[in-house]
Amino acid sequence: MDTGIDFLKSQINNAVAQHQTFVDSLIAHEKQAEDERFRMLCARFIPKALSHQRMLEDYQREIGAETGVGKKAIGKALGVARDLADAARESDFLRLVGDIVTSRQSEDTFKTFREAGRQLGIAQLQQLGDTGEREHDDYHREANRLVQQLFVEHVRQGDTAGLNLSPSTSSSAGMGATGSSNF
């Protein structure tokens, strides 16, 4: 296992490739989404995700950890695999669940960078981690609300015989009159 600067470089390279998968998902899902709320969630977070990606890539270059052809090929292969998985999912609900999982991976990485930067005295790594973790956490709050709403809506739209559902007080709890979130 790598240690020292080699370890840091490998972890930054991994974070760049993994986070790019999340960015690519948001961009694709903004175009593919049938649900306007999901499209808007993607549209709101794409600029922040692109900013995180730039910060990761800038730090990657700064420490001399630029990925080679092999790493880029692996990243592209992961993207192709994700595209195939998305095609099989064919539902906004499952795409959003996948985005939440991918974003959580990035959030965990950013948390590690923040704490490692703090303990090692690497201010730029700490700042990178802090910004990414905070903004991914914001994404999760909103994405989790939407996935919960979609879940309830999908159940209510189908055959509910035998489920003993309580009367719907509001099938879009937490949403404004227009169906957009109150953020």
**Residue-wise pLDDT tens digits, 135-144:** 999 999 999 9
**Domain regions of the chain by residue span:** 4-157
Q: In the predicted model, what is the mean pLDDT of residues 86-91?
A: 62
pLDDT digits (tens, 9 = 90+) for 15-41: 999 999 999 999 999 999 999 999 999
pLDDT digits (tens, 9 = 90+) for 133-175: 999 999 999 999 999 999 999 998 888 788 888 776 544 444 4
Which of the residue ranges 65-69, 93-97, 176-180 has the most confident prediction, judged by mean pLDDT?
A: 93-97
Q: What is the CATH architecture assignment of 4-157?
A: Up-down Bundle (1.20)
Q: What is the pTM of this model?
A: 0.79
Q: What number of CA atoms fall less than 13 Å from residue 162's CA on the CB side?
A: 1
DSSP helix, strand, coil percent of the chain (3-state; round to 5): 75, 0, 20
DSSP 8-state class, residue 175: B
Which of the two residues, 155 and 73, has the higher pLDDT score? 155
Interacting residues of 74 by C-beta distance below 8 A, sequence separation 6+: 17
User: What 3-state DSSP class applies to 68?
Assistant: coil
